[in-house]
Amino acid sequence: MYTIGCQMNELDSELALAALDEDGIRPVESAAEADVLLVNTCSVREKAEEKAYSWLGRMKALKRVNPDLIIGVLGCMAQKEGELIFRRAPYVDIVAGTAHFTRVDDYVRQVRATGKRILAIGRDEQVQTEKRLKARATPQSSFVAVMRGCDHHCTYCVVPNTRGMEQSRELEEIVEECRILVGEGTQEITLLGQNIDSYGKRLRPRRRSLAELLYAVADVPGLKRLRFVTSHPSDLRPELFQAFKDLPNLMPYLHFPAQSGSNEVLKRMRRGYTHERYLELVAAARDAVPDIGLAGDTIVGFCGETEEDFERTIELHEKTRYQASFIFMYSERDFTPAKDQGLIDDVPFDVKKRRINHLIHLQRQWSTEENLKKIGKVYEVFGEGPSKRNPGRQEGRSPQNQVVIVESGRDLAGKCYSVRIDRATDAALYGTLE
């Protein structure tokens, strides 16, 4: 299983793997050993789709050697491209969209029995999350999807098209899933939703809120750390800040994308807030939780972005001082409101490139400056295990979700330990075990 994209995709891959596990189909070390090859795709950026097609191109050779090999494309790109994938890659057997992860086992069985390919992109299926409980990649940390889809129509975004409108799960069902996960050894849970602040607004007979859900999940005995992503500045409610204050296991971290600092661009993106409102919310968050870690997403070079617009984005970054920021270059996507409404992708590529490089450079400087201020402080770190690059080092996360690295030969995965910070870069904190 090759997963491209966000945390929701990682979770969806787990769901597909759990479904396959029931049929005795288990992950193997390399693609060459596999009988079933699946790619879980992302459509948010052109690059992600190119990555999926280039992976498919590489897998074609394996299918030539082993004609019984089953190749499947899952998730957002499958939902968006549908039949087109079969035309571009005729050796693909399964194209299954965003509501079909837990049916992948059926599809594999059908292809084996009939030799016919399967296109499953209907939206009437509800993703069954319970199946996932049988197979998880990292037992100490788990993702739990609390809702799927999004009711916003940000003009650059393909998500409402690929994932549909918001659908929240029942609060009690989520709490029960978390209880089971903790019983199986999970210590850290990240609740996932494309626009998690609007969790529960359509639930009946009683609508629910994200804050209500956080209080209920935080109460699960044995749960050490609780996080949630992703927040939308238009939907963030004040009671959320109270939850941060009240709940000791709710980690002080907010993924809070601004996307642009220009009011004109924000209007064209249809984000529903202004530069000023965004900074007010940042101030309110810091007022309530002074050590909160803020992460952002920014799109550079959106339709009609001028140098002045870009300057406003730089200003917003400088004032927000994100702990981490994911900065992307705009590329026009099919099935987005921007494309449908004729917004023109008119910022030349070299201008986008210059702007993104400039902003990344500045952001790195600011992140480094902020991280250097943490030298001498002690953080409670939740261990993720040995560093992939250097097994003599252990990686973990601070409450603010920053990577913290210590020199140690002991496997600290799943352990909580205190680290005094003695060095910092833009991307990580380095320290010694206390």
Residues that bind ligand SF4 (CB under 6 A): 150, 152-154, 157, 159-160, 194-195, 232
Helix (H) or strand (E) holding 148: strand 147-148
The residues, ordered by sequence, that sit 6+ positions from 405 with a Cβ below 8 Å of its Cβ are 387, 393, 394, 395, 428, 429, 430, 431
CB atoms within 10 A of CB 359: 18
Name which of 82 and 272 has its Cβ closer to ligand SF4.
272
- Provide the minimum distance between the beta carbon of 151 and ligand SF4 in the complex, in angstroms, as a whole number: 7
Q: How far is the CB of 235 from ligand SF4 (least distance, A)?
A: 8
In angstroms, give the least distance from the CB of 410 to ligand SF4. Answer: 40
In the complex with ligand SF4, the residue whose CB is nearer, 11 or 36, is: 11
CB of 166 vs ligand SF4, minimal distance in Å? 9
Q: Which is nearer to ligand SF4, 160 or 386 (CB)?
A: 160
Name the residue type at position 201. K
Amino acid at 350: D
Closest distance of CB 77 from ligand SF4, Å: 16
What SS3 class is residue 376?
Answer: coil
Q: What angle do CA 351, 315, 359 make, to 5 degrees?
A: 40
Per DSSP (E only), the strands in 338-414 are 378-386, 393-397, 403-407
Q: Which amino acid is at 54?
A: S
Task: Report in angstroms how near the CB of residue 323 gets to ligand SF4 at its nearest.
Answer: 20
Q: In angstroms, rounded to a whole number, what is the distance separating the alpha carbons of residues 376 and 154? A: 42
Those residues with Cβ within 8 angstroms of residue 169's Cβ, 6 or more apart along the chain or in another chain: 129, 145, 146, 147
Q: Which is nearer to ligand SF4, 256 or 430 (CB)?
A: 256
Q: Which is nearer to ligand SF4, 150 or 381 (CB)?
A: 150
Find, among 217, 193, 198, the residue nearest to 208 by Cα: 198
Which one, 162 or 320, has the nearer CB to ligand SF4? 162
Q: Which is nearer to ligand SF4, 100 or 232 (CB)?
A: 232
CB of 207 to ligand SF4, least distance (A): 19
Segment (H or E) for 240? helix 238-246
Cβ distance to ligand SF4 smaller for residue 195 or 400:
195
Give the nearest distance from C-beta 149 to ligand SF4 in angstroms: 8
Q: How far is the CB of 292 from ligand SF4 (least distance, A)?
A: 21
For the purposes of burial, counting CB atoms within 10 Å of the CB of 287, is it exposed (0-12), middle (13-18) or buried (19 or more)?
exposed
Q: Which residues contact 63 (CB under 8 A, 6 or more apart)?
A: 69, 71, 91
CB of 310 to ligand SF4, least distance (A): 20
The DSSP output letter for 271 is -
What's the chain's Rg over C-alpha atoms? 22
Cα 256 to the center of its chain, rounded Å: 12
Please, are residues 428 and 402 in contact by the beta-carbon 8 Å criterion?
Answer: yes
The side-by-side arrangement of strands in the sheet containing 293-300 is 253-255, 293-300, 324-329
Cβ proximity to ligand SF4, 56 vs 158, nearer residue: 158
Q: Which is nearer to ligand SF4, 262 or 394 (CB)?
A: 262
